[in-house]
Structure 1
């Protein structure tokens, strides 16, 4: 009988759940966010090789921004894990319950001495429908999508990610997204439809998604401005019935 945390492994020393990437990246794990991640997060979010390609972080990225973010994402992860632990009591003989998020999202590189270092983030969330140009229609779709119960195959999800510049070009994010899709998104969230919205020119990120079965639908302009700069975006789309997953 599979436990409600399946397929997460549990660190025997800390009790923390994790997913491990397959070889040759077996020294990379996905874990929940941790209190204490702030200092490394500040370093990454102040690196233009990262922040110029993602929408969220303010610049400069200050300790109060990191404190707010870690509290927010850790709260999301903790809530999902608590629901699954409660489900283990409520459904001791199954079935596995659908959830609305991936509670392990922070990529960490495990060193030879057992310590690990935060190197990235990958996360599923309900889609913001960036590709819908009409603002009113976008809001309607967001609200309709948000009302759906976890596991509903008609939910549109979006995936976002970043990876430390020191680890670019090694296939790590390609492997991480593939693992999350097959091990968690599809079986534990009921994911059937995922989009990614990248800034125009982010060829590396587009390639990562395309290697995982996403189809590049081309550029779109919804009027977005990020940190004072107008951004044209690329839509990449994955649907369960069109891929090998």
Structure 2
């Protein structure tokens, strides 16, 4: 009788380890969050530290789901939208500097820029240089002349077989950016940097013309500059009026000679 009971107990011990891991493994596969043993939940009267750990576990459960901003970043846009001019300054004096290299493309860019300028009442003068590398020095001379509110450089670079394209693209863009931030004249970036002629034609067409977009950006910068100048003038007049009023009040309060 004793030997039978011993065999039954041994059989139970052999079965228990093999069943328990599979049960917990299946529970972990079903649940995306951390699984705690049921016995740990049923114990009552636990200490403050254990309760704090439970609250931390529950509060961190939301990390399993992706955040809203992460889901939004994964959504791809169908295409880019061009920024249209807002509150352009009418009557602005604008110079267009066009590079003759890739003449077909730069003429189309200039045509788009002129159409926008005339539609906004701007006065336009056109200038030409040999290539895109000459755009920054020409733009600097025109900007420093004091005759123009904006200088719009227009050029086109198309990649070739050597590194000449990369050298020119970086040099011209960097030089124009330095001029735009150092001179009190609106200077946009009207430089096309394309892999082939088809890309250049697509970006100088009437439907998508980078020259027109550069002119729109320049006119908006001119408008911003005049708005800031008007605001500064009004602030200066207000400060002067306040000082004069303060002076008059002090004179009234000071004892005069009788």
Q: Which has the larger radius of gyration?
A: 2
Query: Normalising by structure 2, what TM-score?
Result: 0.21
Q: Which has the higher strand share?
A: 1
- Please identify which structure carries the higher helix content: 2
